[in-house]
Amino acid sequence: MHVILDFDGTITVNDTVDQLANFAVAFQQAQDAQVQSARSIDDDNGDNSDNGGWEARWTGIVDKYLADHKEHKAGYAPTEDARTTLDHELAFLRSLHGVDCKSIYRLREARLFAGMAPDCLYEGGRQAVERGEDGGNQDKKHTVHLRPGFAAFLKQMSAQRKWPVSIVSVNWSDSWIRGVLRADDNDNNNKSEDAAGIRVFANKVTESGAIIPNFPRQDAPANHDHDHDDNVPFASCSDKVEALEAAVAAATKSRPEQSAAVVYMGDSTTDLECLVHAGKNRNGGGGGGGIAMANGDGPATSKLIQTLVRLGYTVPHVSEAERFQRPRSDDEGNAPRLAWARDYDEIMASQILD
């Protein structure tokens, strides 16, 4: 079995984009303060802690993204209620690629991440989790929490079962992801892709502050309607399927004896295509499946689970689902095997991966 995980909201309790951006804002403010100090600028005009307007730049990017997304959704046909097939929903999700990329390009134009080296982003992710582990009066703008049971789950999958584990994420920084994963590791020199036994397929931040994929892209499939090369941000649900296949290829190359079955875990509609893709019959076996991660009362609050149900899929809680690796019956056919969970403790207790 190959375990492939989304990052934001899947490994972490919530999305970490705000925390990543706030870390970048603080970095740029500190850089400006150093320049001001070096030039001996007099502070007679009050607080110059954000003379570069970094917080305003980030807020403006968020506001424009939300407005673009709202406009795109309002003008898209068919509407959500009328999208009752997988093809309908995937067409809509893929159409959001342009909206997402426009926002990412605004980050580059604002130079929010300019000058941030991989080591800096790594330490930012690591420190954000350490703040969450400290407890007490936490600064939510700079704090990241992992879902309960993740460390034990990773140890069991990778170290004990020897299953390959990969991350497929549209997060802007692979170094930030690695920092979050290694928050409990004191070895600052071990920051490679496989540092925690995990390959990471995501975007990366360049020296200029551009955000581009950290892996070589394949030729665009016929169903892609957007630019598709190594300099275009990795942003859509179909981009994630491409990364999933890249992860499978990398694992197969290093462990050719490994089963082709994949279990994918994700929390948002961006993960829908990967969940269904992994949950279907692969190479004639039973094997794989897709697990939707959700907070609280999953089906009542998770947009991903609600969308899967709208499309006609059954998504039981892991405690009520059959094991993914059972043989497939003729009646089951190629239907994707899906389930949902709140955390990794629930997944391990359910034995759904056994």
Q: Taking the model in full, what pTM does it have?
A: 0.90
Task: Kindly report the CATH class assigned to 2-32+53-350.
Answer: alpha beta
C-alpha closest to that of 178 among 200, 163, 162:
200
For every one of its 354 residues, what pLDDT tens digit does the chain have, with 9 covering 90 and above?
Answer: 899 999 999 999 999 999 999 999 999 999 998 887 777 555 555 455 566 799 999 999 999 999 999 999 999 999 999 999 999 999 999 999 999 999 999 999 999 999 999 999 999 999 999 987 776 556 788 899 999 999 999 999 988 999 999 999 999 999 999 999 986 554 444 454 454 578 999 999 999 999 999 998 875 444 545 455 567 888 989 899 999 999 998 888 877 766 678 999 999 999 999 999 998 855 545 578 999 999 999 899 999 999 999 999 999 999 999 999 888 888 887 889 999 999 999 999 999 998
3-state secondary structure 2-71: EEEECCCCCCECCCCHHHHHHHHHHHHHHHHHHHHHHCCCCCCCCCCCCCCCHHHHHHHHHHHHHHHHHH
Can you give the pLDDT at residue 154?
93
Query: C-alpha distances in angstroms, 204 versus 44, 234, 263?
Result: 40, 10, 25
282 CB-side CA count, 13 A: 23
Task: Please name the residue that has the structure tokens 């942003």.
Answer: 235
Q: Which residue has the tokens 């169903």?
A: 223
Contact by Cβ (8 Å): 291, 340: yes
> 10 Å Cβ neighbour count for 79?
10
If you search the block for the tokens 């016929």, which residue do you land on?
222
What DSSP element (H or E) covers 264?
Answer: strand 262-266
Give the pLDDT score at 23: 97
Helix (H, G, I), strand (E, B) or coil at 118: helix
Q: What is the pLDDT at residue 284?
A: 46
